[in-house]
Structure 1
Amino acid sequence: MSTRARDFMTRRGFLQGGAAGAALLAAGSPLVAGEAPARGGEGRRPGMRIGLQLYSVREDCAKDLGKVIAAVARMGYQGVEFAGYHGKSAAEIRKMLDDNGIVCCGTHAGWDTLSDANLAATIEFNKTIGNKYLIVPGLPGECTSSRQAWLNTAARFNVLAEKVKPHGMQVGYHNHSAEFKPLEGEMPWDTFMQNTSKDVIMQLDTGNCLHGGADPLPFLYKYEGRAVTVHVK
């Protein structure tokens, strides 16, 4: 699985305390050390860095985002993926990251922040915090209610991908479980992925995929190179 994503895997769930943190790092260390087996037995490739999706500790982030980022860095994570900024400016967030030697490995960007009216501000904010990956965590019902709605959504993602590409960024979509349940004879995940360009990230949430009744591994092979970031849970 890990050989299919280029940069970061993000892990939901926050283990607190020294022993728990050590166990987590031990479990994750093969990925960091590059010991994940490559497909076809052709040896081992450099592994990905592991980051934490901050949504999993959102209550703590709301109280003191800086302390959470510092704690995550001490635990050994190499990046964080944001799910809101808790009133902090881009400059403040960048300082928190730099002070703790940790990077932004993505952000969950609300659909409205990628509208024509808001896109320029979103790009500028993410440039400042050093983020390249704008991941949509969910879509309004009108974007997912039918196969045609998914096709329209895919077309919009293609437009967005072209708009952010000159800034060194990519857009992507984070699945839930519904994308793996047939809709008008086709799995919405396939409808979306087959009609978006390779510049659109497939942020595969393995737990949500399993909850939807599907096996995540075949999708990593089927859409090879698209899983720039993966949620493992």
Structure 2
Amino acid sequence: MSDKGLSRRAMLRTAAGAAAGVGLAGAMSGTAQASWFPGGRRIPQRMISIQLYTLRTLLESDLEGTLEAVADIGYRSVELAGTYGRSAAEFRRLLDRYGLTATSAHVGFDGADVNQLIEDAKTIGYRKAACAWAQYGTLAEWRDFADRLDDAASAFRRAGISYGYHNHDHEYQPIDGVRPIDVIADRTKWYNVHLEYDLYWVVVGGADPVEEYYRRFGRVKQFHVKDRGEDGGWADVGTGDIDWRTLFRRTWPGPMKQYIVEHDAPSDPLNTAKVGYDYLRNLRF
């Protein structure tokens, strides 16, 4: 093993030690006690992923070292948000090198060559993708967007890839009495467009994640597991005030889902990744 490889693993062990302390403190307070709940269901390792956007600052400076560290934490699956200047084939080789599989990706379709997006997905290997962002001021604009989304998703579906929509909080704020999230769900076909619920944003948007899950039962195939701190901002998974144990237990029926760790602006991205992975692996519900 090279000195470079040793230094990366030493760096990770340091981060992991710090994370363990944070995880223990979190487990002793609030809803994070779910980590120590005896018995119950457990999220399969293959369903635990991380949105690489969480680690973007590290990926930009050391792509290979960061992917190696992610694998060393225990992750086997990742969700992409770009390939950091590498081609699809180059990025796939890096994932293979570190034993990682891209199970999904955020890729925007508006203004993009959908056929090329599909070819890149096939090369990298993911079978789920999602539009990460849209925001409009009128229902007419949201309807037009939903129609375009459905058309793009239909092309992905024919290629064997499920294309979905990832929410923020504004989709839950009514426009003329109608929520944009309902426009998206009602105007797209269930077999074309799945839903990737960012659970933090569902909560911040004033909705009940469990109620929303059953409102669109069968279409929610991915969860962004992002916690909320006491100040209402982002928190490492298991250290905030979202009741994951109850939420996951009540949404267990239905299709198998990916549980994707995310934090939009972590101060220590590797620590955040470690805390989130350990929390989900230890959680019983």
Name the TM-score, length of structure 2 as normaliser.
Answer: 0.64
Partner of 1:6: none
- Give matches, 1:30-109, under 5 Å: 35-36=41-42, 49-109=47-107
RMSD: 2.6
Question: How far apart in 2 are the matches of 1:125 and 1:213?
Answer: 36
Q: Do 2:109 and 2:152's aligned partners in 1 also have CA atoms closer than 8 Å? A: no
Residue 110 (structure 1) shift:
2.4
Identity %: 35
Residue 166 (structure 1) shift:
2.1
Partner of 2:171: 179
Gaps of 5+ in 2: 1-13, 227-285
Partner residue of 1:208 out of 195, 201, 208? 201
Q: Deviations 1:80-132 (Å, cap 9, x if unpaired)?
A: 1111111011111111111122110211112446x4xx111111111100012
Residue 62 (structure 1) shift:
0.7
Name the TM-score, length of structure 1 as normaliser.
Answer: 0.77
Q: Do 1:34 and 1:47's aligned partners in 2 also have CA atoms closer than 8 Å? A: no
Q: Equivalent residue of 2:220, what SS?
A: coil
Q: Deviations 1:181-206 (Å, cap 9, x if unpaired)?
A: 11111111112112211121211001
Change (3 A) 1:75 1:46: closer
Gaps of 5+ in 1: 1-15, 37-44
Question: How far apart in 2 are the matches of 1:29 and 1:128?
Answer: 37
Question: How far apart in 2 are the matches of 1:151 and 1:110?
Answer: 17
Question: How far apart in 2 are the matches of 1:121 and 1:34?
Answer: 43
Q: Deviations 1:33-88 (Å, cap 9, x if unpaired)?
A: 9915xxxxxxxx96861111011111111112222111111111121111111101
Partner of 2:258: none
Q: Equivalent residue of 1:17, what SS?
A: helix
Change (3 A) 1:74 1:34: farther
Change (3 A) 1:209 1:48: farther
Q: Deviations 1:144-181 (Å, cap 9, x if unpaired)?
A: 22112212211112211221112111211111110111
Work out the number of aligned pairs and report it.
201
Partner of 1:190: 182
Change (3 A) 1:18 1:46: closer
- Give matches, 1:93-132, under 5 Å: 93-112=91-110, 115=112, 118-132=113-127
Larger Rg: 2
> Structure with the greater relative contact order (CA < 8 A, sep ≥ 6): 1 or 2?
2
Partner residue of 2:225 out of 212, 216, 232? 232
